[in-house]
Amino acid sequence: MSLRLDPWGHFAIEEYSKLFEQFGISPIDALIEKLPQEHYMFKRRIVFGHRDFDKWLSMLKKGEKVAVLTGFMPSGHTHLGHLILIEELRYLQSIGAHVKMAVADAEAYAVRRLPRDKTIEYGLEYIAHAIAWGLDPEKTEFYFQTAQEKEYYRLIQMFSRKITMAEMEAIYGEISPAKIIASLTQASDILHLQLDKYGGYKHVLVPVGADQDPHIRLTRDIADRFEHELGLKRPFSIYHKFIRGLDGKKMSSSKPDYAIFLLDDERTIRKKIMNALTGGRPTAEEQRRLGGDPSNCTVYELYMYLLYRNDKELLELYSDCRNGRILCGQCKRNAYELLIRVIKEHREKFESIYDPKYLKQYVVIPDF
């Protein structure tokens, strides 16, 4: 079976093969059976690689305190790409990890140069979506990078002592004061949970996209260098692929026509899906005869990443598409119906949660 014919989307991992070879990221395959509870994102290789995830899992099984730290950039309204990460976190919480979620508002301000009030607004929206999607707010910690306590900033100061400009340049190419502070802030995000003050979680897993691996490597180096002084241990990481935008490129709030936002109205979602890039043929006749190509179809990705949790259903769709038994129009309408159902249910919960008065219980909202 060639990679391109794999309904689980292994095909896209091909692009990531150099990560395995050059950077020492391990394929997730051998660990899928070791999960305490199966999850479609692992099985379908949406989560495709890891660093020392096996060790983290064995800590979890031993009943040690384990945590998950994730950060997200509050650069726009929450879209499906974010939701996939939230689902990953929900799963990791369900198997027993303590989850802590950082809003990278310092980075958004300093490096991305986003207006401050917007970064706070987007951050709160994201937190509200996470809670609405099923993260237990009583068990999850949320914070903004700009509203932490002094120990968190102390780490940034300390880390700066043991990192050189050459290392920074190797990671970031052209650097700036803002990038240096952002990267050390990110290291503090990942490592601060290990301090007693923040719970003393020594086994911290970071779910990231492969593009974030340089940060992980930097942070692992920093942990090594502060092992003696602060008792820090290397973080663990798992790597996920990103659901693509409806144009087949990275889903991003900077291209709103090709991203599905969780607060889009039905009409907008319908329009976006109907215009989505698919693996269909130029004519219905051709498609019936030759079949479609789900491996290059953004609508198929909606099913794979979110809409079909049942593998049998997904496999059937894959087969129907390949064999020309379903055309893109029908497939899109089905996706729309399923997605709207998911989003409607989600949004009902979201409405009551997305309220600063309510969220204030769970997160310190920065004031400037």
Cβ nearer to its own copies, comparing 195 with 359: 195
Q: Per-residue contact track with its own copies, 85 to 124, x per CB under 8 A? A: ---------------------x--xxx-x-----------
176 makes contact with its own copies (CB under 8 A): yes
Largest Cα–Cα distance in the chain? 69
- DSSP-assigned letter for residue 36: S
Among 70, 78, 140, 185, binds its own copies (CB under 8 A): 185
CB of 271 to its own copies, least distance (A): 37
**How many degrees, rounded to 5, is the angle at CA 104 between CA 103 and CA 109?**
125
| Local structure of 152: helix, strand or coil | helix
Compute CA 283 distance to the chain's CA centroid, rounded to the nearest angstrom. 36
Cβ nearer to its own copies, comparing 176 with 323: 176
CB of 71 to its own copies, least distance (A): 15
**How many degrees, rounded to 5, is the angle at CA 74 between CA 69 and CA 77?**
120
CB of 205 to its own copies, least distance (A): 25
177 makes contact with its own copies (CB under 8 A): yes
CB of 146 to its own copies, least distance (A): 5
Cβ nearer to its own copies, comparing 65 with 154: 154
Cβ nearer to its own copies, comparing 138 with 174: 174
DSSP collapsed to 3 states, 206-264: EEEEHHHHHHHHHHHHHHHHCHHHHCCCCCEEEEECCCECCCCCECCCCCHHHCCECCC
Per-position DSSP letters for 5-74, written without gaps between them: G-TT-GGGGGGGHHHHHHH-PEESGGGGGGSSS--HHHHTTSEEEEESHHHHHHHHHHT--EEEEEEE--
**Element holding 204 (H helix, E strand):** strand 203-209
**How many degrees, rounded to 5, is the angle at CA 70 between CA 65 and CA 71?**
145
Cβ nearer to its own copies, comparing 20 with 153: 153
171 makes contact with its own copies (CB under 8 A): no
Cβ nearer to its own copies, comparing 91 with 144: 144
Cβ nearer to its own copies, comparing 161 with 357: 161
Q: Per-residue contact track with its own copies, 37 to 76, x per CB under 8 A? A: ----------------------------------------
CB of 157 to its own copies, least distance (A): 4
b/e 132-163 (16+ beta carbons within 10 angstroms → b): bbebebeebbbbbbbbbeeebeebbebbeeeb
What residues between 132 and 161 interact with its own copies by CB under 8 A? 145-151, 153-154, 156-161
228 makes contact with its own copies (CB under 8 A): no
CB of 186 to its own copies, least distance (A): 12
184 makes contact with its own copies (CB under 8 A): yes
227 makes contact with its own copies (CB under 8 A): no
CB of 42 to its own copies, least distance (A): 36
User: Of 206, 212, 218, 220, which is closest to residue 67 (Cα–Cα)?
Assistant: 206
CA dihedral of residues 182, 185, 191, 195 (deg, nearest 10): 180
86's tokens: 């939230």
- Tracing tokens 């607060």 back to the chain, one arrives at 263
CB of 83 to its own copies, least distance (A): 28
Give contact residues for its own copies (rule: CB under 8 A): 106, 109-111, 113, 145-151, 153-154, 156-161, 163-165, 168, 175-178, 180-182, 184-185, 195, 230, 366, 368
